[in-house]
Structure 1
């Protein structure tokens, strides 16, 4: 079997009554587009309902099981080397590219960081200890063996890992701001389901501002997420009116994200095709050796984005 012939079947439980065609439109529209198949051929070749073939007019009911057959050839193959920047008996750290998911998803299954590294190193027990968004880059830690994973995971659960991120934001950031805090909540008024907003009355999440370098049009920051919530840095900075350059989801005009998601059209206001958020450093006390470990990124990916942003504003 060649790589392009490799496949994986995803399974989903239906929770509300709806037509199959509507479900394809809401959940599988990008997969349909990338497959280059017609709607009917996509359903016939890729979709099953309760392990049976289906048609567009099939009605789905709560409790039904739908499955989707995904091929490696549906994905853009990632062929560049992923640099290993630290390794010991229990741990592995890599330089995550800014175009790959950490764990497998329906659109990035074979070309997720986890599956690419498992394949390359022939380590089936490899497991990420934390997450970075698909468009975020930098230091990413893995546990190499199942038996060591719990002790390593406790470092993150007990907030014993110090992480520093570099980021570029729109506008002139106030250097007197040292912390951002509040409760992160789902923004029910947003057309973007996965978007959060910050309720400043709470204390659930905390980001520290470590360094600030400003210019007239953008600022370069180093930040430390003390808590570790999904989208935390992105949400916190957007709440201050300084969304991350290239971040479509937290850009003030939500239509930018909606247009990009539907058509892949990238608004010129993004400046960057991917967000400028980079994990520069991770440090912690090793639970097995007791040594203080500091893992640094070479920051080349971030430097490239910084140059693009500087050039953009210099030529204006």
Structure 2
């Protein structure tokens, strides 16, 4: 449901929209929100109503006694969490009237969420460029570094988003994995398959699960071409060309071939959550983007300035 927020972007962060049930066991909107956000101090939440911080579609403030059913959607600004600073900068590689292309560092999320607000590529760039309309055209995992594209204007955003929806953007990644135990330097291969490797499987994202699920009995919905760049007695360095864009696809495919990416806390095994170790970034890099510009018809190509620290 496309709805325009009644609240402007503030400090680079847009307001959050919440769907409120029109009926239920709550007398007021504030009672519903207190139960919905039970991890928050209810008195602190009520004070936000008293200050006029919770608003309706028309921008009018809701009171703590606004009855349930009066509004189906409400908007509010998230209260900034205590964020650990991510001490790496976003590098702007290209900027024009319609596009901004950046080199995102490891550990920085693309958009605000969870415990990250100011420490996200989107918020940093909105504040740096003074453009509240800036919006990512695609996304990278927080753990992945490399090329990331943003739209600067709503008027042309859809044209660039369609490129990704129609798979008209050539994306190239590289990764570094631990050398498999059965590695044969004379005939390099992964899981007995010689390079170049085309790997396919069926990936699905399950609600409330941080890892994706692979279903071996279903028709493949993801595909990656994997090429060998180099190797030594410690690691193997690969070039990855995804044909599809499923969540965690590259990490899942290399893991399935016995070459899980170095410093991956999700695949092949989900490790206990721990503070970021900035000395051990995931060895996955979004290296190249190529496409035909939908506005000018000119070919566009962008290449990262970053490298993977564990490469041979």
TM-score, with length taken from structure 2: 0.70
Counterpart pick for 2:94 among 81, 86, 99: 86
Structure-1 separation of matches of 2:14 and 2:164? 31
Q: In structure 1, what is the equivalent of residue 210 of structure 2? A: 194
Determine which structure has more spread, i.e. the larger CA radius of gyration: 2
Deviations 1:203-226 (A, max 9, x none): 311111133423344211110111
Counterpart pick for 1:279 among 265, 271, 286: 286
Counterpart pick for 1:184 among 199, 203, 206: 203
Q: In structure 2, what is the equivalent of residue 117 of structure 1? A: 125
Q: Is the 8 A contact 1:102 1:112 kept in 2?
A: yes
Structure-1 separation of matches of 2:149 and 2:13? 27
Structure-2 separation of matches of 1:122 and 1:283? 27
Residue 222, structure 1, aligned to residue 239, structure 2 = yes
Q: In structure 1, what is the equivalent of residue 61 of structure 2? A: none
Structure-1 separation of matches of 2:291 and 2:199? 23
TM-score, with length taken from structure 1: 0.69
- Write out the 4+ residue segments of structure 1 that deviate beyond 6 Å after TM superposition: 5-9, 20-25, 64-69
Instruction: Please list, as runs of the form range in 1=range in 2, the aligned pairs for 1:189-268 lying within 5 A after superposition.
Output: 193-200=209-216, 201-252=218-269, 254=270, 256=271, 259-260=272-273, 263-264=274-275
Q: Is the 8 A contact 1:214 1:220 kept in 2?
A: yes
Kindly tell me: are residues 13 and 143 of structure 1, through their superposed partners in 2, closer, same or farther at Cα, counting changes over 3 Å?
closer
Q: Is the 8 A contact 1:47 1:68 kept in 2?
A: no
| Shift in Å, 1:43 | 2.1
Greater helix content: 1
Q: Indicate the SS of the match to 1:74.
A: coil
RMSD: 3.8
Q: Is the 8 A contact 1:46 1:69 kept in 2?
A: no
Q: Which runs of 5+ in 1 are unaligned?
A: 29-41, 53-63, 311-316
Counterpart pick for 1:162 among 157, 170, 175: 170
Q: Is the 8 A contact 1:198 1:236 kept in 2?
A: no
Deviations 1:50-95 (A, max 9, x none): 969xxxxxxxxxxx99999754461134565421112233211001
